[in-house]
Amino acid sequence: MSLLELRDLKVHFPQPSSWFGPKRCVKAVDGVSLAMQPGEIIGLVGESGCGKSTLGRAAVRLEVPTSGQVLIDGKDLYALSAAERRQLNGRYQMIFQDPYGSLNPRLTIFSALDEVLSMRKENFSAAERRSEAGKLLERVGLPADVLGRFPHQFSGGQRQRIGIARALAASPGFIVADEPVSALDVSVQAAIVNLLQDIRQQSGTAFLFIAHDLAVVEHISDRILVMYLGNVVESAAAKELVKTPLHPYTQALLSAVPSLHKNNSRIILKGDVPSPLDPPSGCPFHPRCPFAKEICKHQKPPLKNMGSRAVACFLQD
């Protein structure tokens, strides 16, 4: 049984329409399936607006799916009663891009951690919770004696470490990390990525790591899913995807990262990502694809399993 499983997940946002106009909706996530095992790090990559953050939020019950299922330990997250959900007891957590926004500025760091610790099954005493909070800070590389300080007294990187400590306070099976390093200085990014890898190593915590930077995703992930306009267009083991990208969109993303793509020239895509309110017919990538054929304008390629990887492109038929 997978730790987290998404089955044909769709998250559509209906849009206000005029009296006579057709009903419109943004198909932010349009039929994504994945299975995550304990301790696995899955990278989710794609340009801004491709639906990756919406997918991550739906996986932790922050966005109600239009259809499909989110299963945690085989249990349908959106079909559980409140009491059953409490039994999952912090099995899933989320880390946000803006750690400052996710921390209450009026709460001390201890109070922020204690909010989560006090919900744990162990029924810690007040002294035990303080000791546990100190250990959590040390685990993310901060001294335990800053528990009485407030979020504004820390740098961006330190606040992200506090956000990670807060997620770890729940002792989660998996964490959705939504662009956790993109707001940080480059020098701090590597330290946070290494910290997440250490946590996986030490605790077996799994991560759904969402980012637009393929170099960062490749560094941390076991497996990568590439999203485009609400769809997964390619998934493969991280090293395999970088070595032999099969989907033209993956090839274009990769060509923009010199550290990963040393031999070939940059593939410049035509135009911008189309509006998800008015997605193209057929293959959603066809207006920008250098290899588009007639069939691509009319038919959507299915995500085809090819052994250890999958790709949605007619070139692979």
According to the binding rule CB under 6 A, does residue 142 interact with ligand SF4?
A: no
According to the binding rule CB under 6 A, does residue 65 interact with ligand SF4?
A: no
Nearest to 157 by CA among 176, 196, 194, 183: 183
Nearer to ligand SF4, 103 or 313 (CB): 313
Who's near 243: CB < 8 A, 6+ residues apart?
A: none
Q: Of residues 280-299, which lie at the interface with ligand SF4 (CB under 6 A)?
A: 283, 285-286, 289, 291-293, 296
According to the binding rule CB under 6 A, does residue 313 interact with ligand SF4?
A: yes
Smallest distance, Å, CB 299 to ligand SF4? 8
Smallest distance, Å, CB 53 to ligand SF4? 23
According to the binding rule CB under 6 A, does residue 191 interact with ligand SF4?
A: no
Total residues contacting ligand SF4 by CB under 6 A comes to 14
* Integer Cα distance of 306 and 265 in angstroms: 27
Smallest distance, Å, CB 247 to ligand SF4? 6
> What angle do helix axes 126-139 and 156-168 make, rounded to 10 degrees?
130
Q: Please choose, out of 112-120, 147-155, 204-212, 309-317, the segment that lies near ligand SF4 by the rule CB under 6 A.
A: 309-317
Nearer to ligand SF4, 167 or 283 (CB): 283
Nearer to ligand SF4, 134 or 248 (CB): 248
According to the binding rule CB under 6 A, does residue 267 interact with ligand SF4?
A: no
Nearer to ligand SF4, 181 or 283 (CB): 283
According to the binding rule CB under 6 A, does residue 228 interact with ligand SF4?
A: no
Name the site residues for ligand SF4 (rule: CB under 6 A): 247-248, 283, 285-286, 289, 291-293, 296, 301, 313-315
